[in-house]
Structure 1
Amino acid sequence: MPERRYVADALRTETVGGVVLLAAAVAALLWANIPAISASYDTVRDAHFGPAALGLDLSLQHWAADGLLALFFFVAGIELKRELVAGDLRDPRAAALPVIAAVCGMAVPALVYTAVNTAGGGSLGGWAVPTATDIAFALAVLAVIGTSLPSALRAFLLTLAVVDDLFAILIIAVFFTGDIRLPQLAGALAGLALMWLLLRTGVRGWYVYVPLAAAVWALMYNSGVHATIAGVAMGLMLRCTRREGEEDSPGEHIEHLVRPLSAGIAVPLFALFSAGVPLSGGALAQVFARPEPLGVVLGLVVGKTAGVFGGTWLAARFTRAELNKDLAWPDVLAVSGLAGIGFTVSLLIGELAFADDPRLAEEVKAAVLVGSLVAAVLAGVLLKLRDRTYRALSEAEELDEDHDGIPDVYEAGNPQYHLRMARIHEDKAAEHRRLARAAAAAAGSGGPGGNAEGAAGSSAPGDRPA
């Protein structure tokens, strides 16, 4: 159907996906804070369903965080694989700068959080919360505001965010994995091995891979390893290079199919059931009063900007890595602030880090929302200023006043260009003198002590510019 295709294509763009995600977050906040309906938010979010015999009797919130969000990480896995084999991460020299920026952009927020909570006597368990960047939100803000910015800036942010996702996945796998159940983990690994074998032998058909993927996810969930890791692993298995005669690689084709589900259903539903922080219950008031949420806000707003920008500058200064010639340091500063939009992954890590303290988890979620909003606003202002600068440069480069088909900026050393411009200005001067004489004649007088010619100025050749 044309309508369904139109919606799917729209959801594949960063702008629309970011707007849908923002709408879901706003809907969650309204639902959780409007007195007449706020009680139903907890009721719906905590409603359980699923086959208990398979260990999958989960609440809606857990289905969104552990199930639907696996689609998001599946797409992230495909993006990472594509960057590794066909994108910027394939060339170590080109990848060095955004990779170092991503690593520093995760390390510094963690240090900021640790410093704040060490000084304030807070829990160090949330150190990983401000380390994440929400790729959908960040790219959406860049797409909306940066219409005239260099394409290299988007490539830098995309590479940075993909590497950020990789390290976030590793953090979840290493630091937020519960008690490992070896039989289930062995079953999940066996399922992944079978999927790899089927992909390498060219077996096709959704009816083969969808049930197998569901089984791998369920086994991974029951193994104690966070279930989103299964999504990443399956995404990394797909081939993302094109063979002769192929329009798209299997990875590109599947990403094209799955991305609308991830951007339009999975991530918004996760936001809907995770971002509903009761603001009247004191969660928002505690953001700047308790060290844990304060560390998250400062980590996202200050730590991310300092880490990404500082890491990029240090790498360019002391290694062979070079900043793209199309970018300037103010561009890097703006996109560094944009990396402070944590949201999706930060909310997930916040839930995992403080699973045993629901009240503190709510306060940390509020901190993620506040920090991401502040980072988005500050980065948006910087991006708008840079966009205005690039728009002015673009307009200057396209200006062709002599209408010879060559922009004027490239003809500064051409004598014929200056002669053409002199004739154009002489013709304009003559036309303005004619209009002045006509205006003076219409007024009935050329002015006190003179005639229309005197008021308009002489048109003698000596008055004309040389």
Structure 2
Amino acid sequence: MSLPERNFVANALRTETVGGVLLLAAAIVALVMANTPLSDFYQSARDFTVGPASLHLDLSIGDWAKDGLLTIFFFVAGIELKRELVAGELRDPRAAALPVVAALCGMIVPAVVYLATASGMGGSLDGWAVPTATDIAFALAVLAVLGTSLPASMRAFLLTLAVVDDLGAILIIALFFTTDISLPALGLSLAGLALFWFLHRKGVRGWYVYVPLAAVIWALMHASGVHATVAGVAMGLLLRCTVRDNESHSPAEHIEHLVRPISAGVAVPLFALFAAGVSVSGGALGDVFTKPEPLGVVLGLFLGKVIGIFGGSWLAVRFTRAELNDELAWADIFAVSSLAGIGFTVSLLIGELAFSEDPALADEVKAAVLIGSLISAVTAGILLKLRNNKYKRLYDEENLDEDESGIPDIYERHDPAYHLRMAAIHEKKAAEHRKQAELAAAERAAGDDPA
């Protein structure tokens, strides 16, 4: 493509709406291929192995998408987390308290709901972490599409909540899904991260330096036994988010600007393409609501997130110094809580890791993630639409200027001059209507005249 075309595509991919649509489209394509005669082709493509075996990187295409491409997504998430810590909501403890508490409760309660469901029905407890994650791309996309008139603070609350949620998911992956750690490989990977930080702090520039170094860090992290996506988060957190005297923007902002289109347009959709392809036959759908593990995931995403985020927020405001933003109402927090139940990308990843030894159960859990996310998205969509309509009415009322004075009418209701201007406007309109009535009567009389 030409440079203008490339810039147009890149700018489009930086918007949450486009990224969410591509993610949804990839998931739909995967479901269609997995449930049609194309299923054999889909499975063979997903399981096709490629890569150097000598470096233990002879992975399937699906694993490359899960361990490789998704690292780009977590790299961007790491930058967002660093920016929030340095210059965003998380910088001020008082402002960060509410979304942080909401995020933590929004991870703990879904896990408890899963554990209660699975243990009560005699199922496996290994999937407790699956419903704890929120898909930031999908959630922000839904909010962007339906929330055109919603307060900006609602997006800030969701973004901060999702960033903390991402950090929690990263810690869960690193702590609970890491086995057989190779200390030499891990040490070399950490040494690579130290070199990455040193070069960055010294102002060394050039993709030809950092991309090969990032690939080596990722490969060593993968070989160490720690999930390779942790390398992406670590590199994102090491980037500088502050602006120096001779800079118009920070290196982290610049790099995120360049990498986000790759994450939203390539990495995440391809991961969804190879992760969301599960059978959704009538029997499989029935299993989602009858088997303990899938049911626990659905309830955890739909009910656990709402109870955790909304309940945690209310308790924080009630019993601590945390405060709800003046622009927001509790109905807004409830809508955001439902929206956080969309656990698509990271939940699919954790589902694969949690049940890697049981592919059939892993597919059922994936189907549960899709269904739970869909229920949450539809519920949140209805709630957000209702809130958006209310805020739109308020906006229209606050900006109505019928007397054309340049000042909204709401601020002039106690001014006699305003009412006189409105009276003059209505008298002028009444005179025009009387004139129109006389003309209409004359035309009707002329039409009834037999001559």
Whether the 8 Å CA contact 1:132–1:346 is kept in 2: the answer is: yes
Between the aligned partners of 1:269 and 1:208, the Cα distance in structure 2 is 26
Query: In the alignment, does 2:7 pair up with 1:5?
Result: yes
Aligned to 1:435: 436
Give distance in 2, aligned partners of 1:281 and 1:385: 33
Say which SS state the counterpart of residue 290 (structure 2) adopts.
coil
Shift of 1:116: 0.5
- Separation in 2, partners of 1:387, 1:420: 32
Does the 8 A contact of 1:8 with 1:260 survive in 2? Answer: yes
User: 2:157 & 2:343 partners in 1: Cα distance?
Assistant: 17
Q: Is the 8 A contact 1:283 1:362 kept in 2?
A: no
Distance 2:400 2:127 in 1: 53
Structure 1 range deviating more: 76-85 or 200-209: 200-209
Q: What is the aligned partner in structure 1 of residue 25 from structure 2?
A: 23
In the TM superposition, residue 289 of structure 1 has moved relative to its aligned partner by 1.1
| Partner in structure 2 of residue 158 of structure 1 | 159
- The 2-side partners of 1:73 and 1:152 are apart by 24
Among the aligned pairs, what percent are the same residue? Answer: 72
Partner of 1:271: 272
Amino acid at match of 1:324: N
Corresponding letter in the other structure for 2:374: L
Q: Deviations over 1:98-145 (max 9, x none)?
A: 101100111110011011111101111100000000000000000001
SS in structure 2 of the partner of residue 286 of structure 1: helix
For residues 5-84 of structure 1, the aligned pairs below 5 Å read: 5-35=7-37, 37-84=38-85
Distance 1:291 1:301 in 2: 15
Larger CA deviation: 362-371 vs 311-320:
311-320
Q: Distance in 1 between matches of 2:55 and 2:271?
A: 23
Measured after TM superposition, the shift of residue 281 of structure 1 is 8.2
Q: Report the Cα distance in structure 1 between the residues aligned to 2:32 and 2:227, rounded to whole angstroms.
A: 29
Number of matched pairs: 445
Aligned residue runs from structure 1 range 383-402, under 5 A: 383-402=384-403
Query: Measured at CA, do residues 41 and 281 of structure 1 come closer, stay the same or move farther in structure 2, by a change above 3 Å?
Result: farther
Per the alignment, in what secondary structure is the counterpart of residue 283 of structure 1?
A: helix
> Matches of residues 105-116 of structure 1 in structure 2 within 5 Å?
105-116=106-117
Q: Contact between 1:277 and 1:362, CA under 8 Å: does it hold in 2?
A: yes
Give the 5 Å matches for 1:201-216: 201-216=202-217
* 1:164-175 equivalent positions in 2, closer than 5 A: 164-175=165-176
Between the aligned partners of 1:332 and 1:413, the Cα distance in structure 2 is 35
Matching residue of 1:177:
178
Counterpart residue type for residue 286 of structure 1: D
Equivalent residues of 1:277, 1:283 under 8 A apart:
no
Aligned equivalents of 1:214, 1:366: Cα separation in 2? 32
- What is the aligned partner in structure 2 of residue 225 from structure 1? 226
Question: What's the counterpart of residue 453 of structure 1?
Answer: none
Q: What is the letter of the counterpart of residue 147 of structure 1?
A: T
Partner of residue 191, structure 2: 190
TM norm structure 1: 0.94
AA of the residue aligned to 2:51: G
The CA distance in 2 between the partners of 1:69 and 1:424, in whole Å, is 62
- Give the equivalent residue in structure 1 for 2:297: 296
Q: Could you tell me how far apart the structure 2 residues matched to 1:24 and 1:231 are?
A: 23
Shift of 1:436: 2.1
Q: Give 2:425's aligned residue.
A: 424
The CA distance in 2 between the partners of 1:385 and 1:155, in whole Å, is 19
- Give the whole-Å Cα distance in 2 for the aligned partners of 1:444 and 1:284: 71
Q: Give the structure 1 partner of residue 307 of structure 2.
A: 306
Q: 1:331 to 1:368 in 2, by over 3 A?
A: same
Which residue number corresponds to residue 254 of structure 2? 253
Moved more, 44-53 or 200-209: 200-209
In the aligned structure 1, how far is the partner of 2:284 from the partner of 2:7?
A: 41
Corresponding residue number in structure 2 for 1:323 = 324
Matched to 2:268, the amino acid is V
Counterpart CA distance in 2 for 1:54 and 1:281 is: 43
1:298-335 deviation per Cα after TM superposition (whole angstroms, max 9, x unaligned) = 10011101111111111111111111111111111111
Matched position secondary structure for 1:423: helix
Structure 2: distance between partners of 1:282 and 1:68:
32
Give the AA of the match of 1:41.
Answer: Y
Deviations 1:67-106 (A, max 9, x none): 1100000000000000000111000011111101100111
Q: 2:405 corresponds to which residue?
A: 404
Structure 1 Cα separation of the partners of residues 427 and 349 of structure 2: 68
Deviation at 1:437, TM superposition (A): 2.5
1:281 & 1:428 partners in 2: Cα distance?
A: 63
The gaps in structure 1 that reach 5 residues or longer are 446-466
**CA distance in structure 1 between the partners assigned to 2:136 and 2:178 by the alignment:** 24
Q: Indicate the residue corresponding to 2:449 in structure 1.
A: none
- Deviation, 1:444, is 2.3
Q: Which runs of 5+ in 2 are unaligned?
A: 447-451
Select between 98-107 and 430-439 the one with higher mean Cα deviation.
Answer: 430-439
Q: Decide which moves more: 223-232 or 203-212.
A: 203-212
Give the secondary-structure state (helix, strand or coil) at the position aligned to 1:443. helix
Cα distance in 2 for partners of 1:258, 1:202 equals 19
Distance 1:223 1:185 in 2: 5
User: Is the partner of 2:336 in helix, strand or coil?
Assistant: helix
Code of the residue aligned with 2:75 in structure 1: it is: F
Give the letter aligned to residue 66 of structure 1. D
In structure 1, the partner of 2:416 is 415
Q: How far apart in 2 are the matches of 1:283 and 1:84? A: 43
Residues 125-140 of structure 1 correspond to what in structure 2 (within 5 A)? 125-140=126-141
Tell me the equivalent position of 1:262: 263
- Contact 1:180/1:225 (8 A) holds in 2: yes
C-alpha separation in 2, matches of 1:65 and 1:262: 13
What letter matches 2:315 in structure 1?
L
Cα drift, residue 191 of structure 1? 0.8
CA distance in 1, matches of 2:204, 2:48: 39
Mapped partners of 1:177, 1:210: distance in 2: 25
TM-score (norm 2): 0.97
